């Protein structure tokens, strides 16, 4: 309005907006700390479902699998602080989303469709990123944010985010716990859907100047979940993470940003048919048994953002990932943790990417990207007498 300055001033009441915010036609940015209705389950899948275009494959009360425009799994990578955590379960009880507690992150960014090549291979559905941002401590200080939630069916959540620092260094601790009980159906029957999970993460950051960040982080978490539609329950969803990331901005007039990171994420999952339920023979399982699977994903990434003119930008770099999968199994009398781990698969990927964007006009931007990947997968033969798998070829 041209005459806005002449209009009388009104003071409006504060309004909390919880809707997601479209930054561009292909990118959505949301604040995962904002409250939502209906209250999502404790995992990333149920949270993403509140964004248009997402649905979820339900799997018990928590631990769903997000689907975007009909695609899921490796077509929709979920990154936490730029790192990938891949689940270990052959029945996909532990989709990557089940290890992510959205409220412990600062921003959620969804790039819709195969519109970016800079965040790893196979992103045909899109890329989902949960990030903890660099805290601003130009003045020394201590910040604490905490929340509690209670609801029916025994739902109770607790979240804590503690930050302390000064201009040179900061420490940040995030922790959460989430619990839900079985719900009762219309006939008053208990439906197995209970879950319990927790996470703790610590980050130590060094910020020698406003443009430089070096952050060391480590975290762990665990959980359990009952399932109504599966032959086993998840009795362990253990996560162990570590990471080191470096970021420097405004190095030269044309080198706008340099990023480097290394990380490791391990998912160590146990499922059985006797801990969270009374064992009953049926289906393919005639005796009580437990299965322990783990997947350790380690990766590295370097990226440079070049800006030789204000309206041109090139982001280019390399990323690499290595992800072996191990398994072992047991029974109540011969526990799985008395057995050695057996490797059954390994995956490696090396990629190079470049994405060029040109802001042709204020409301017109052209983006083009190229990505080359070299992916390898290994299958390991089971020892004779353990299922009779054929030896891996090649």
Q: Smallest distance, Å, CB 276 to Cu ion?
A: 12
Burial of residue 91 (number of CB atoms within 10 Å: 0-12, 13-18, 19+):
middle
Q: Smallest distance, Å, CB 238 to Cu ion?
A: 12
For the record, the structure tokens of 268 come out as 């160590």
Sign of the torsion angle spanned by Cα atoms 71, 297, 84, 269: positive
Judged by beta carbon, residue 172 or residue 327, the one nearer Cu ion is 327
Asked if residue 93 binds Cu ion (CB under 5 A), the reply is yes
Judged by beta carbon, residue 66 or residue 87, the one nearer Cu ion is 87
Candidates 52-60, 88-96, 156-164, 299-307; binding stretch for Cu ion (CB under 5 A): 88-96
Judged by beta carbon, residue 68 or residue 72, the one nearer Cu ion is 72
Candidates 92-100, 260-268, 309-317, 368-376; binding stretch for Cu ion (CB under 5 A): 92-100
Q: Residues touching Cu ion: how many (CB under 5 A)?
A: 4
Asked if residue 89 binds Cu ion (CB under 5 A), the reply is yes
Phi, psi of 369 (to 5 degrees): -140, 155
Site for Cu ion in 256-295 (CB under 5 A): 271
Candidates 87-95, 147-155, 209-217, 308-316; binding stretch for Cu ion (CB under 5 A): 87-95
Q: Smallest distance, Å, CB 61 to Cu ion?
A: 15
Q: Which residue number is nearest to Cu ion in terms of Cβ?
A: 89
Judged by beta carbon, residue 199 or residue 291, the one nearer Cu ion is 291
HSE-CB for 169 with a 13 A CA cutoff: 3
Judged by beta carbon, residue 89 or residue 175, the one nearer Cu ion is 89
Q: Smallest distance, Å, CB 324 to Cu ion?
A: 18
Q: Smallest distance, Å, CB 257 to Cu ion?
A: 40
Judged by beta carbon, residue 129 or residue 266, the one nearer Cu ion is 266
Task: Go through 161-170 and write b for each residue having 16 or more CB atoms within 10 A of its CB, e for each that does not.
Answer: bebbbeeeeb
CA-nearest of 284, 188, 276 to 228 is 276
Judged by beta carbon, residue 61 or residue 317, the one nearer Cu ion is 61
Using CA atoms in the order 123, 127, 133, 134, what is the torsion angle rounded to 10 degrees?
20
Sign of the torsion angle spanned by Cα atoms 359, 365, 370, 373: positive
State the DSSP code for 93. Answer: T
The whole-angstrom separation of Cα 273 and Cα 282 is 11
Helix (H, G, I), strand (E, B) or coil at 188: coil
Q: Smallest distance, Å, CB 299 to Cu ion?
A: 23
Q: Which helix (H) or strand (E) holds 203?
A: strand 195-206
State the DSSP code for 44. Answer: H
For the record, the structure tokens of 11 come out as 């003071």
Q: Smallest distance, Å, CB 294 to Cu ion?
A: 11
Q: Smallest distance, Å, CB 69 to Cu ion?
A: 27
For tokens 């390399």, the residue is: 318
Candidates 44-52, 82-90, 111-119, 316-324; binding stretch for Cu ion (CB under 5 A): 82-90
Contact positions vs Cu ion (CB under 5 A): 89, 91, 93, 271
């Amino acid at each position: 309005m041209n005459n806005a300055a002449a209009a009388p001033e009104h003071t409006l009441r504060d309004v909390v907006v919880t809707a997601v915010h479209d930054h561009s036609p292909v990118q959505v940015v949301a604040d995962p700390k904002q409250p939502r209705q209906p209250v999502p389950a404790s995992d990333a899948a149920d949270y993403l479902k509140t964004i248009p275009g997402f649905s979820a494959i339900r799997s018990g009360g928590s631990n769903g699998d997000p689907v975007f425009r009909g695609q899921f799994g490796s077509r929709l990578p979920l990154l936490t602080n730029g790192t990938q955590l891949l689940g270990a379960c052959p029945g996909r009880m532990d989709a990557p989303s089940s290890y992510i507690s959205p409220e412990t992150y600062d921003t959620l960014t969804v790039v819709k469709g195969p519109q970016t090549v800079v965040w790893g291979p196979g992103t045909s559905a899109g890329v989902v990123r949960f990030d903890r941002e660099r805290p601003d401590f130009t003045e020394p200080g201590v910040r604490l944010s905490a929340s509690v939630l209670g609801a029916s069916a025994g739902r109770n959540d607790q979240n804590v985010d503690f930050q302390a620092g000064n201009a040179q260094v900061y420490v940040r601790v995030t922790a959460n716990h989430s619990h839900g009980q079985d719900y009762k159906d219309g006939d008053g029957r208990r439906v197995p859907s209970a879950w319990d999970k927790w996470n703790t993460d610590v980050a130590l950051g060094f910020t020698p100047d406003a443009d430089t960040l070096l952050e060391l982080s480590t975290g762990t978490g665990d959980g359990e979940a009952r399932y109504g539609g599966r032959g086993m329950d998840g009795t362990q969803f253990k996560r162990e993470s570590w990471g080191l990331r470096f970021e420097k901005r405004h190095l030269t007039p044309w080198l706008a940003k340099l990023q480097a990171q290394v990380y490791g994420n391990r998912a160590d999952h146990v499922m059985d048919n006797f801990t969270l339920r009374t064992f009953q023979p049926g289906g393919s399982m005639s005796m009580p048994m437990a299965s322990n699977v783990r997947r350790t994903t380690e990766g590295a990434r370097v990226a440079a953002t070049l800006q030789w003119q204000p309206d041109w930008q090139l982001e280019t770099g390399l990323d690499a990932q290595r992800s072996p999968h191990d398994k072992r199994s047991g029974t109540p009398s011969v526990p799985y943790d008395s057995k050695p781990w057996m490797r059954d698969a390994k995956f490696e990927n090396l990629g190079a990417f470049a994405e060029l964007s040109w802001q042709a006009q204020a409301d017109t931007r052209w983006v083009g990207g190229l990505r080359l990947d070299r992916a390898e997968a290994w299958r390991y033969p089971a020892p004779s007498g353990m299922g009779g798998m054929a030896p891996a070829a090649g």
